[in-house]
Amino acid sequence: MKIINGGVCAAKGFKANGIHCGIRKNHSKKDLALIVSDVPATAAAVYTQNLVKGAPLTVTKEHISDGIAQAVICNSGNANTCNANGIEIAEAMSALVERYTGVAAKNVVVASTGVIGQPLNLKPIENGMAELAAGLSADNGAAAAQAIMTTDTTAKEVAVEFTVSGKTCRMGGIAKGSGMIHPNMATMLVFITTDAAISREMLQKALSQDITNTFNMLSIDGDTSTNDMVTVLANGLAGNPEITAEGEDFNSFMQALNTITVQLCRMIAGDGEGATKLLECIATGADKEETAKIAAKSVICSSLLKAAMFGADANWGRVLCAIGYSGADVDVAKIGVSFRSAKGTVEVCRNGAGVPFSEEEAKEILLQNEIEILISLGDGPFGAHAWGCDLTYDYVKINGDYRT
């Protein structure tokens, strides 16, 4: 498997585009994305567990209830959530896709991201559709990645090439972060495309399994969004024998999917609102996988630790504290903590108590922009990874007046 360019258009038969249509006031920010497959694709999705759900999710769920989708339309600048006419607008967006691309409205995945509770005006979307559809191209994946951004500072796309039964397949994805990120059995907006042939059941299985170790182990700020969604469209154009059961081919697919999702997790965490650092907590030595996951996620969710990481302060007591209140069944007397980055590794706690360390060395390690927090929980065989970011002045600034 190798990392390749092309993002959501890396796989055969996918075209995309992204434009500024006018939902956002800032003309330099794209706000409408479209992804279309040449042929109908097998589709799988996972959604937010928030009881407050965006209207686009309801419509998408209905549209892919038959396991088929052929296009994705997504606007930024407005979440189309908690609006009286939300469903109507999301259906109208699907109808516009049909009118301008020929893809049946019932095969359209609809998504919206942005502020909650303000009616979404269809007019700019209507006005922009001709331009959006005309620009659909296998070279425009990056434009789609840009058009789904909200407070993200960088577009997020990744693609891989892999092999299924000797056939070369490709898979790519785009994502938007970067606040209200604390997925719960679902995730933020992620659209993944592949030309691999895979059955509807196995595609959903692959996605549902994968997210438990990827997007569900990611947190920017503890707030689970109303509009979280990941979809995968698999159009089968690679020509591999369809994956219909577990086995070597399914494993190859899972590995490709995991490469995409881990990379997107890292991109989302590293570009968390206001973030200056990507934090990765790596738990080892747990008796159960669940224990490792609970502990690792609690560490990267701690506001106190996140602020300490911003300040490059090796305040490991906050790591222990976060493990202690996580609910994970751990023996505190066995916990070890180290911090690692490109500048080296410093051990700060062993067997639940501090060990002497050089504050200067720790500071140098923590001043890097990718920090690993290594927690060993004992002698067990299980581990977990979780991703997050530091808590900064800019997080407060961005969210102190998001709507203006």
Which positions lie near a second copy, rule CB under 8 A?
48-53, 79, 81-84, 115-118, 179-180, 182, 184, 221-226, 301-304, 307-308, 310-311, 313, 315-318, 320-325, 330, 332, 349, 352-354, 391-393, 395-404
Q: Which residues contact 395 (CB under 8 A, 6 or more apart)?
A: 179, 221, 272, 273, 274, 275
Smallest separation, CB 112 to a second copy (Å): 13
Question: CB within 8 A of 177, min separation 6: which ones?
Answer: 150, 151, 152, 156, 188, 220, 267, 268, 269, 271, 272, 273
Q: 42 vs 302, which CB is nearer to a second copy?
A: 302
Task: Reply yes or no on whether 187 is catalytic.
Answer: yes
Query: Smallest Cα–Cα separation from 32: which of 156, 161, 174, 128?
Result: 128
Shortest separation between residue 111's beta carbon and a second copy, angstroms = 17
Q: At what angle do helices 86-101 and 55-63 cross, to 10 degrees?
A: 50
- 70 vs 219 by CB, closer to a second copy: 219
Least distance (Å) between residue 236 CB and a second copy: 36
Query: Per the residue annotation, which of 81, 187, 214, 259 is the catalytic one?
Result: 187
**C-beta of 147: minimal distance to a second copy in Å?**
22
SS3 content of the chain, % helix, strand, coil (to 5): 35, 30, 40
Token pair recorded at residue 185: 């059995």
- The dihedral through the CA atoms of 183, 186, 191, 192 has a sign that is positive
Distance CA 371, CA 320 (A): 17
Helix (H, G, I), strand (E, B) or coil at 360: helix
CB of 283 to a second copy, least distance (A): 15
Closer to a second copy by CB, 248 or 379: give it. Answer: 379
Residues forming the active site:
187
